[in-house]
Amino acid sequence: MIPYGKQDITQEDIDSVLNVLTSDFLTQGPKVPEFESAIAQYVGAKHAIAVNSATSALHIACMALGVDEHSWVWTSPLTFVASANCARLCGAKVDFVDVDPATGNMCPKALELKLAHAASIGKLPKVIIPVHLAGHSCDMQAIQQVASQYDIAIIEDASHAIGSRYHDKHVGCCQFSDICVFSFHPVKIVTTAEGGVLTTQNSNLASKLKSMRSHGIDKNCRQLLRPDEGDWYYEQHELGLNYRMSDIHAALGVSQLARLDNYTAKRNELAKQYQQRLSKLPLDTIEPLSNSYSARHLLLIKLHNPTKRKQVFNAMRQANIQVHVHYFPVHLQPYYLAQGFSEGDAPQAEALYNQLLSLPLYPELTPTQVDYICDTLEALL
């Protein structure tokens, strides 16, 4: 079976992890800050905070921005459920902004209209969470321009997008957002097995995030109530969690990060081959905006005829090609149906979902395998 995504583990990765296992610190040692600095430097952010998953990162991002049971948070319907669940974990209400059918990303025009309506009924969101589907950056400048009119904070869900660029700057530099979140799950661009990182330019948010990931305890961040208690003493000032990344995971991340640009270059080469091979078939490949470079987490195609999707999916799997579909619209998940959502709430996302198919894409995929995948697809269409 050709999988749809696959991690790449080298001897350097293994050595890096083994070195931690035989060192003094399995967690809270030097590897986590090393990983954080490497990411901050790579993306051009002042701060990077490592946690145990992107789901945790999204959760504490919402907490740090003050999301609570009185808040609304808006995200994209074409995403993994975690992009919406983070708001529910803070007790907030969630709503979904429809997507641009060309990219599957949050549509700035739809956002503008929805915000104008929300303002008129007094239900403006506190935070919006655009998602860079497949690693293709959203039109962040347009999104930020609209959101800033209403003083709304922005969290980028860049789980697919480490190594991506927008306007010649790395996703994660937060030029058009408050916080950016990356995932390091094995199917993503770079892996720590499980893990996530938040980046921000805002020092205040950074110290809140550090506190939230470790029980609400931060030794350095604020004035102690009892400064003379002793060196053993720490204070908890707010409610946090244990969302820390271990040094074992960070060591894998540090080692992987050195190959990030090779990974995205390889993924882009393969995507180009797909694009050329598929250009005459009754489908479109989903491409990034012209002013951006995508890390190419997923190779998404949009079939012209949605009634064929299931048959094509099954036949491809029969041919040992693990195609996938990203994503079933979040608002139609039973949990969100129970919150009052229904079909028709995001018509563009729903229509696009019916056409989408994800083809295998990972650095070790060979041009011969891409040919086999394209031949198989061509015969089916």
Ligand X SMILES: *Cc1c(COP(=O)(O)O)cnc(C)c1O
Kindly state the smallest distance separating residue 56's Cβ from ligand X, in Å. 7
| Cα gap 337→153, rounded to integer Å | 26
Please report whether residue 189 would count as binding ligand X according to CB under 6 A: no
Binding to ligand X (CB under 6 A) within 314-353 occurs at none
| 237's tokens | 């000032």
CB-based contact 171:137 (threshold 8 Å): yes
- Binds ligand X (CB under 6 A): choice among 7, 71, 144, 183: 183
User: Considering beta carbons, is residue 82 or 140 the nearer one to ligand X?
Assistant: 82
User: Considering beta carbons, is residue 83 or 144 the nearer one to ligand X?
Assistant: 83
Please report whether residue 39 would count as binding ligand X according to CB under 6 A: no
Binding to ligand X (CB under 6 A) within 74-133 occurs at 79-80, 82-83, 131
- Omega within 30 of 0 (cis) for the link into 293: no
| Cα gap 1→321, rounded to integer Å | 6
| 292's tokens | 């951006």
Pairing of strands 169-170, 292-293: unpaired
- Binds ligand X (CB under 6 A): choice among 31, 47, 59, 160: 160
| Cα gap 62→128, rounded to integer Å | 10
Residue 340: alpha-carbon gap to chain centroid: 26
Cβ neighbourhood burial of 48 (10 Å; 0-12, 13-18, 19+): buried
Please report whether residue 376 would count as binding ligand X according to CB under 6 A: no
Q: Which stretch binds ligand X (CB under 6 A): 10-18, 36-44, 157-165, 353-361?
A: 157-165
Please report whether residue 177 would count as binding ligand X according to CB under 6 A: no
β-pair partners for 50: 197
| 310's tokens | 């299931």
Q: What angle do CA 182, 188, 192 make, to 5 degrees?
A: 75
User: Considering beta carbons, is residue 124 or 327 the nearer one to ligand X?
Assistant: 327
Please choose, from the candidates 275, 45, 272, the residue with its C-alpha nearest in 3D space to the C-alpha of residue 178. 45
Kindly state the smallest distance separating residue 104's Cβ from ligand X, in Å. 11
Please report whether residue 264 would count as binding ligand X according to CB under 6 A: no
| Stretch 279-318: interaction string toward ligand X, x if CB under 6 A | ----------------------------------------
Kindly state the smallest distance separating residue 79's Cβ from ligand X, in Å. 5
- Binds ligand X (CB under 6 A): choice among 100, 156, 157, 247: 157
Binding to ligand X (CB under 6 A) within 53-72 occurs at 53-55
Interface residues toward ligand X, by CB under 6 A: 53-55, 79-80, 82-83, 131, 157, 159-160, 183, 185, 196
